[in-house]
């Protein structure tokens, strides 16, 4: 089966994990700190904070910024549910914003403006599929409205300018991301004070960690703020250090494969629309396409699976998931809903070759042709 996403794991990762096990220290320690500094350097940031997941990162950012009950946060519905969940975690209300269009399925500035109220305190931008939102436009909007700007950069590690939009950015290292630590995340924050608040809150608000107490030979500590157990461990940090070295090369491979997809679709399958005009700054996390109107998507999925090709959907709109539909039954987002009905995510990862891309495009063309005679699809 040609998978939608597949982590690249090899001898470097095995050696890194073995070294941690041999050291006898597996909880948060020196490797976590090394990873934080290396991740920050890659993004030309002063520092970063490693955490247990991107969800934890988003929660910590909102918590440290003081977002809470009575506040509203603008979020896209075309995202993973964690983006909205993190807003509920701090007691605030997520306000769902439509995408701009199927061609550019990022959060709409116009709809965001229309949904601002006196209670709106922040906006979470999602760099969907690894394609970066327009920084200047969103910074101008945030300044004009007095909003805190946060990036959900789960899809965009290693990209220039990521982490520079606003107050902070959250990254994901889940198993299907551009680089992985199995589970894990990181935060880049502009303010040192904000970073240190986040750093403290990820570990129960304690004034010292286990490693520090061992080094300093003092067993005492204090708790100064409300905190959580959102730490990264040494095993994941070791994986991250090994993966981080390869991230630029992997992102370039993703870019080349995405270019091949676009060229082959134009030649063999022009009825399939590929969002975002090239060249759009992107980490090319996933390969989303929009199927022709009238296509029964499940048939296409089934036909591709029979040919050994996995596909998936990014994403079921968050506001249409049962939990959120029950919370906000009046929410409708026509462009997001229409995009979600027709979107299909195709395989894209560094383990693929251009021959794999050709196989996918040929199979998709055949799957569509089974329903539409030659020339019937405009």
What is the average per-residue pLDDT within 328-337? Answer: 98
pLDDT digits 0-9 by tens, 224-268: 999 999 999 999 999 999 999 999 999 999 999 999 999 999 999
Residue 55 has pLDDT above 90, yes or no: yes
CATH number at residue 270: 3.90.1150.10
What is the average per-residue pLDDT within 262-289? Answer: 96
What is the average per-residue pLDDT within 106-132? Answer: 98
Q: Is residue 342 part of a domain?
A: yes
Q: Is residue 225 part of a domain?
A: yes
Residue 117 has pLDDT above 70, yes or no: yes
**Cα gap 85→92, rounded to integer Å:** 10
DSSP structure string for 211-258: HHHHHHT-----B-S---B-PPPHHHHHHHHHHHTTHHHHHHHHHHHH
Q: What percent of the chain shows pLDDT beyond 90?
A: 92
Q: Identify the bridge partners of residue 95 per DSSP, sorted by sequence position.
A: 74
Q: State how far the alpha carbon of 205 is from the alpha carbons of 165, 200, 215, in Å.
A: 27, 5, 19
Query: What confidence score (pLDDT) does residue 372 get?
Result: 65
What is the average per-residue pLDDT within 49-59? Answer: 98
Q: Is residue 153 part of a domain?
A: yes
Q: E-assigned strands of 43-92?
A: 49-51, 72-76
**Cα gap 284→260, rounded to integer Å:** 12
Confidence of residue 346 (pLDDT cuts 50, 70, 90): very high
Confidence of residue 214 (pLDDT cuts 50, 70, 90): low
Mean pLDDT of the chain: 95
Q: State how far the alpha carbon of 142 is from the alpha carbons of 49, 121, 199, 368, 370, in Å.
A: 24, 10, 25, 43, 48
CB atoms within 10 A of CB 268: 14
Which residue, of 214, 244, 274, is where some domain finishes?
A: 244
Residues 122 and 266 in one domain: no
Residue 286, domain extent: 247-369
**Cα gap 269→296, rounded to integer Å:** 16
**Cα gap 140→320, rounded to integer Å:** 30
pLDDT digits 0-9 by tens, 122-179: 999 999 999 999 999 999 999 999 999 999 999 999 999 999 999 999 999 999 999 9
Residues 229 and 261 in one domain: no
Residues 225 and 359 in one domain: no
**Cα gap 265→361, rounded to integer Å:** 7
Q: How many structural domains comprise the chain?
A: 2
Residues 191 and 88 in one domain: yes
Residues 31 and 174 in one domain: yes
As given in the structure block, the two tokens for residue 136 are 């200047």
DSSP structure string for 36-49: HHHHHHHTT-S--E
CATH number at residue 104: 3.40.640.10
Confidence of residue 378 (pLDDT cuts 50, 70, 90): very low
Q: Is residue 2 part of a domain?
A: no
Q: Is residue 177 part of a domain?
A: yes
Torsion of CA 168, 172, 200, 202, to 10 degrees: 140
Confidence of residue 213 (pLDDT cuts 50, 70, 90): low
**Cα gap 200→192, rounded to integer Å:** 12
Residues 186 and 225 in one domain: yes
Report whether the peptide linkage leading into residue 330 is cis, meaning its omega lies within 30 degrees of zero: no
> How many residues belong to the chain?
378
Residue 375 has pLDDT above 60, yes or no: no
Residues 139 and 115 in one domain: yes
Which residue, of 218, 244, 270, is where some domain finishes?
A: 244
Q: Is residue 3 part of a domain?
A: no
Residues 31 and 129 in one domain: yes
Residues 57 and 144 in one domain: yes
Q: Is residue 339 part of a domain?
A: yes
Which residue, of 244, 263, 286, is where some domain finishes?
A: 244
* Number of DSSP helices (H) and strands (E) in the chain, helices first: 14, 9
Active-site annotation, residues = 177
CB atoms within 10 A of CB 144: 10
Residues 57 and 179 in one domain: yes
Residues 170 and 297 in one domain: no
Residues 231 and 83 in one domain: yes
Q: Is residue 143 part of a domain?
A: yes
């Amino acid at each position: 089966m040609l998978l939608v996403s597949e982590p690249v794991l090899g001898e470097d990762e095995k050696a890194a994990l073995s070294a941690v096990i041999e050291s006898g220290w597996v909880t948060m320690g020196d490797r976590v700190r090394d990873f934080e500094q290396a991740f920050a350097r890659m993004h030309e940031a002063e520092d970063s904070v490693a955490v247990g997941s991107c969800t934890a990162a988003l929660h910590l950012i909102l918590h440290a910024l003081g977002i809470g009950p009575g506040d509203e946060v603008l979020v896209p519905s075309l995202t993973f549910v964690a983006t909205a969940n993190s807003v509920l975690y701090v007691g605030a209300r997520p306000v769902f914003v439509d995408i701009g269009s199927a061609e550019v399925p990022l959060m709409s500035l116009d709809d965001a403006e229309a949904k601002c109220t006196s209670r709106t305190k922040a906006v979470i931008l999602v760099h969907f599929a690894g394609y970066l939102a327009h920084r200047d436009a969103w910074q101008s909007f945030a300044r004009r409205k007095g909003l805190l700007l946060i990036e959900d950069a789960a899809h965009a590690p290693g990209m220039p300018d990521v982490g520079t939009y606003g107050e902070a950015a959250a990254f994901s290292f889940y198993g299907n991301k551009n680089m992985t630590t199995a589970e894990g995340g990181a935060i880049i924050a502009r303010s040192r004070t904000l970073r240190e608040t986040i750093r403290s809150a990820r570990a129960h608000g304690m004034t010292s960690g286990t490693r520090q107490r061992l080094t300093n030979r003092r067993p005492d500590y204090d708790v100064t703020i409300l905190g959580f157990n959102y730490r990264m461990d040494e095993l994941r940090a070791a994986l991250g250090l090994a993966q981080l070295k390869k991230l630029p090369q992997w992102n370039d491979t993703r870019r080349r494969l995405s270019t091949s997809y676009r060229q082959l679709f134009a030649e063999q399958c022009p009825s399939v629309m590929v969002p975002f005009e090239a060249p759009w700054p992107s980490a090319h996390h996933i390969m989303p396409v929009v199927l022709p109107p009238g296509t029964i998507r499940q048939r296409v999925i089934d036909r591709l699976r029979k040919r050994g090709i996995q596909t998936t959907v990014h994403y079921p709109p968050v506001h249409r998931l049962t939990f959120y539909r029950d919370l906000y039954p009046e929410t409708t987002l026509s462009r997001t809903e229409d995009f979600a009905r027709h979107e299909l995510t195709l395989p894209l990862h560094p383990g693929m070759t251009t021959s794999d891309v050709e196989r996918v495009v040929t199979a998709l063309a055949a799957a569509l042709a089974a329903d539409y005679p030659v020339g019937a699809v405009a």
